Structure 1
């Protein structure tokens, strides 16, 4: 099943970067707006916003019912842009995601009908319920912001972000995401069960109606584009870049599959976004450390089950790799 709102605007031109304090204000407004719906996940919400400002994509991985889809919907509603949703199912085809050429008998020509990937924020709900062939329909879009159908390439509007949710139970009814696809997600995040106090607050908020029904945008697509330009202008000195490289090399020396150069780039961009969120126009090692686990852990393969996990390895890297 798919549902989509076709794009209503083109936002391809790069705007001028905002001052850091204005970009930080946009990020804070979005975080606060999402938290009108989502309770007790401030750190996760900040991670999502920094990923979007870093031109990234997100994988929300957890058990059913903890709010993954609601978090993605709340974020999309907080930004006045085109939102589309794909409900991944075993019978979903790649063209159900990218779009398809349809023959028009009146004009005797083929007409391209875009799929739901043509949105600014695309929710790929329960992505691992579809087979790898269908999942791979997102690879080109996530990496190059374009889609190729029948030899014709179509550019995607900007900003463009994929937020995928993944069901990590029912292993016999889901498909494992290919490593190449996992590596294209800037961050992999989990929510976990709420505390008793947070769950009680959730129940209070949904009594008589759901707060997402009243959620209004607090930023525009143009705001996000301008804030992204701000993030790109944040200074990352050679010492910081070298630190990111040492962290990546640590994983390559201590895992069967270490962090790719794409992962190193994602970490640096996320650290730049974190600096903006903190109101700075330069990156410090603390920014890198704040982003390291969510950006790097899912890219690492540590070997035998029951051994060191990706998260543990990244924690070891942060503890062991010197800041010079």
Structure 2
């Protein structure tokens, strides 16, 4: 049994990873300031500290075996409007966390990175050797932390793994996606199905794809969580490894809409809108490094399974809110 600090563990992905760690028999402490996370998303068996990652030195001590770092702001549009917020939190917070880890002699870190570090790739699938040219401050801050970890590993012997997520969806253990504001396609479609939104916007239908809409790689959040546990075992002193996490297959916006329609049984009116700047036509992961180095493969790759699990959470959360129960 090991002891892990999970920063940002009151968020969607951090909470699911914390739950997987507990189910594997480990001790878990969640550190989250609840600025975007939810107290009820912290697994009941985890110790919870309400605090900021920039103050991690107050709580981090040698009894921890590793840190899993999810604490970051992640709204692309907000990062464009308020870049200073993202640099201060995502980069400043990570820098403070690394200093605390050095002082506490905790030398293993798994970092929540993103495909946004690649910007607009000119080919698919995207490998880890693709140029990293982020098109927004969110992606730029995540790339900056990746560079930070490379230097930390070389200079101070950190064992670090960055996991670059593509599109994460689904639900696990009663925990699912809920952002404020929401910007992701599948939960936005659920809002249409639940009568909370009139229609779904389709941003462009003239891309060079089979049906003209953008193609994206969707990965189940439980598959993503399993990769983090494997990364803890694979981390090596003095090495910073970067792995993409995705299914390696793409689904168009219209394919996602049809799948959600089939799963929910609700009509989903569409409104065609202009293309959004910076949206690549195809964004699909090559996850061979995760397979080779971590021994990881997605076990829930079917879009219908991903959508069905997410829909079950969305409906239960809606019912709980109607009953006045926090979810």
Question: Normalised by the shorter chain, which TM-score bucket?
Answer: under 0.3
More helix by share: 1
